[in-house]
Amino acid sequence: MTTRSRIVGTGHYLPARVVPNSEFEARLDTSDEWIRSRSGIERRHFAAEGENTSDLALAAARAALDDAGLAADDLDAVVVATSTPDLTFPAVATMVQAGLGMTRGFAFDIQAVCAGFVFALANADALIRSGAAQRVMVIGAETFSRIMDWDDRSTCVLFGDGAGAVILQAGEGTGSASDRGILAVDLNSDGRLKDILLVDGGVSSTGTAGHLRMQGREVFRHAVEKLTATAAKALERAGLETDALDWVVPHQANLRIIRGTAQKLGLPMERVVVTVQDHGNTSAASIPLALSVAKAEGRFRPGDLILTEAIGGGMAWGAVILRW
Ligand code: UT7
């Protein structure tokens, strides 16, 4: 018998304010046409003043508990992937724990930027398989609007705010690739690539939050190559071929990266969940948001094989193979 971590609930939350590309045309030397054709983004949501990452995360977590038919104290742990916490400390996850009224268990944050949700899923899976937890709420939540340089047209048009959550629960499997739940993970990082995507401030350096800086073309080049490699590695670990995949739920940074990776993997776009047009790049929130939206649309069937993959600052990247 093998312990498998299964998704038993999903939820998401998007702030009320929707910002179409046209809002940027009025302020910057840019166009709806440029943003759509270079990134696939048509609109994004921005959090209201006073609405923080923990508020977004809490709303997504509540939706996931409702979806699973569970109560807060049924959870053993809360893990939040974020690079835009409310405060330097404590962790956003502990704020969610308190907000849910959860009086037991433990909560902590993970910071792997846009790959954060993949790293959080892998860590939650390890907690479950080790027996340290039976049920873990895994959340990706971000307010990237707070770290934008609004005069930098090459970045500020690309990002959005939001949160997505999944509940992982221990289940029994046979150890084969036909089990439901997480089947394989692959995690990577290369700290030598720090300078192509970073936020230029922080607690111990500038004492400010800083602004996002990105060498877009360089990040793009690494993205397609590394996402294809990590997907192949995770599939190999699961003992599966690309053909076995029913769905890919990629990090939603750029439609051209999503298409390029699907093409390299030999997967038709009909099997790829795409939400970047509506959400922009929500960093660690993008995969759980896409999972929750696709589930709400009834796209996944029990037994479907799903690949998630993401890359971001660090650089950090990885993939998870799971059976729904
Ligand atoms: O989630 C974390 C990972 N992040 C990513 O995956 C992002 C990866 N990178 C990308 O998605 C793309 O590189 C971008 C969407 C950021 C840019 O697309 P690109 O095709 O790589 O464009 P580029 O950076 O090569 O810029 C092309 C031109 C430049 O003008 P010149 O130098 O060719 O005259 C830019 O100045 O487009 C210009 N440009 C803009 N023009 C209008 C840059 N931003 C804008 C803009 N509106 N907003």
User: pLDDT by residue (tens digit) across 291-302?
Assistant: 999 999 999 999
pLDDT beyond 90 at 1: no
Mean pLDDT of the residues in the chain: 98
* 225: helix, strand or coil: helix
Of 220, 259, 275, best ligand 1 pocket probe by most atoms within 8 Å of the beta carbon: 220
Per-residue pLDDT tens digits for 197-234: 999 999 999 999 999 999 999 999 999 999 999 999 99
- Distance (Å) from CA 285 to ligand 1 centroid: 22
Ligand 1 atom closest to Cα of 24?
48
Q: Which two tokens stand for residue 132?
A: 């340290």
Task: Kindly report the protein residue whose alpha carbon is nearest to atom 48 of ligand 1.
Answer: 153
End-to-end CA distance of the chain: 19
- Active site positions, annotated: 114, 251, 281
Reading the block at residue 180, the tokens are 């439901």
Distance 38 CA to ligand 1 centre (A): 7
The two beta strands, 181-189 and 316-323, are: antiparallel
Pocket of ligand 1 (CB under 6 A): 30, 34-35, 38-39, 114, 153-154, 157, 216-217, 219-220, 223, 253-254, 257, 281, 312
Q: State percent of the chain over pLDDT 90.
A: 99
pLDDT tens-digit profile of 9-57?
A: 999 999 999 999 999 998 999 999 999 999 999 999 999 999 999 999 9
DSSP 206: T
Cα separation, 144 vs 46, in Å, equals: 9
Residue 270, exposed/middle/buried by CB under 10 A (0-12, 13-18, 19+)? exposed
Are domains 2-173 and 181-323 of this chain identical in fold? yes
Cβ neighbors of 310 (< 8 A, separation 6 or more) are: 114, 115, 116, 117, 118, 227, 250, 251, 286, 287, 317, 318, 319
pLDDT above 90 (res 321): yes
Distance of CA 3 from the midpoint of ligand 1 (Å): 44
Distance, CA 216 to ligand 1 centroid (Å)? 6
Superfamily for 181-323? Answer: Thiolase/Chalcone synthase (3.40.47.10)
Q: What is the pLDDT of residues 66-103, one digit of tens each?
A: 999 999 999 999 999 999 999 999 999 999 999 999 99
Higher pLDDT, 1 or 288: 288
Residue 128 has pLDDT above 90, yes or no: yes
pTM: 0.98
Residues 6+ apart with CB under 8 A from 259: 269
**CA-proximal residue: ligand 1, atom 44 (nearest):** 154
Those residues whose C-beta lies under 8 Å from the C-beta of residue 217, and which sit 6 or more positions away, are: none
- Let me know: does 218 contact 241? Beta carbons within 8 Å: no
* Cβ–Cβ < 8 Å for 60, 92: no
The count of other CB atoms within 10 Å of the CB of residue 176 is 10
- What stretches of the chain show up as alpha helix (H) in DSSP? 22-25, 32-39, 53-68, 92-100, 116-130, 153-156, 216-238, 255-265, 276-279, 286-296
Split at pLDDT 50, 70, 90, the class of 309 is very high
Task: Give the closest residue to 107 by CA, choosing from 86, 134, 137, 131.
Answer: 137
Nearest CA owner, ligand 1 atom 43: 154
Residue nearest atom 40 of ligand 1, based on CA coordinates: 154
Q: How far is CA 282 from CA 82, 126, 276, in A?
A: 10, 25, 9
pLDDT, tens digit, 9 for 90 and up, residues 163-186 = 999 999 999 999 999 999 999 999
Please report where in the chains the tokens 């983004």 appear, as a residue: 41
List the domain boundaries for the chain: 2-173, 181-323
Q: Left (φ > 0), alpha (ψ -120 to 50) or beta: where does 257 sit? A: alpha
Give, using CA atoms, the residue closest to atom 30 of ligand 1. Answer: 154
Q: Which fold has domain 2-173?
A: Peroxisomal Thiolase; Chain A, domain 1 (3.40.47)
Judge whether residue 115 has pLDDT over 90: yes
Q: Which atom of ligand 1 is nearest to the CA of 310?
A: 1
107: confidence class by pLDDT, cuts 50, 70, 90: very high
User: Which ligand 1 atom sits closest to the C-alpha of 223?
Assistant: 6
